[in-house]
């Protein structure tokens, strides 16, 4: 069982839903069916949704691997909090009229450092067992 991953994947789903709904609403508002037609607002919304879609699956896979490797619950939970925080901060940076670059970088730092930590913990867990 992977209850921590189940919890964080469910929480992250709601952010994914919000980002997707935001793209749909902006498309309807500007009557743009495909692409972004040089519309900055839509381009930013698509970028936020796309970035989320690229990083979250791998982060959740690594989190699930941590649980399957029986890494301590507290480490997995902390990783989930940091990863989710990074994804929220990154998404928020795109949802402003003018993208907040400082916030975007902070979100990616949390995302990357958490993913690096999860990868290292999974590798160490493997090496201990061989």
This prediction has a pTM of 0.94
Q: Let me know: does 12 contact 86? Beta carbons within 8 Å.
A: no
Contacts for 76 with CB less than 8 Å, ≥ 6 apart: 4, 5, 63, 66, 67
pLDDT confidence of residue 37 = 94
* Among candidate residues 9, 45, 49, the one with its CA nearest the CA of residue 28: 45
* Tens of pLDDT, residues 69-116: 999 999 999 999 999 999 999 999 998 888 899 999 999 999 999 999
Q: The domain spanning residue 36 has which CATH number?
A: 1.20.120.550
Distance CA 91, CA 112 (A): 15
pLDDT at 53 over 90: yes
Domain count, the chain: 1
The arithmetic mean of pLDDT across residues 23-33, rounded, is 95
Give the range of the structural domain holding residue 25, as residue numbers without chain letter. Answer: 3-129
């Amino acid at each position: 069982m992977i209850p921590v991953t189940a919890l964080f994947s469910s929480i992250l789903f709601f952010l994914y839903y919000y980002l997707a709904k935001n793209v749909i609403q902006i498309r309807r508002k500007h009557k743009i069916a495909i692409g972004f037609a040089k519309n900055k607002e839509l381009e930013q919304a698509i970028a936020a949704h796309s970035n989320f879609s690229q990083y979250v699956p791998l982060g959740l896979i690594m989190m699930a691997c941590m649980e399957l490797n029986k890494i301590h619950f507290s480490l997995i939970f902390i990783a989930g909090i940091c990863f989710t925080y990074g994804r929220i901060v990154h998404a928020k940076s795109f949802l402003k009229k003018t993208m907040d670059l400082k916030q975007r970088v902070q979100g990616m730092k949390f995302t990357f450092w958490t993913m690096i930590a999860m990868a290292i913990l999974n590798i160490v867990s493997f090496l201990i067992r061989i």
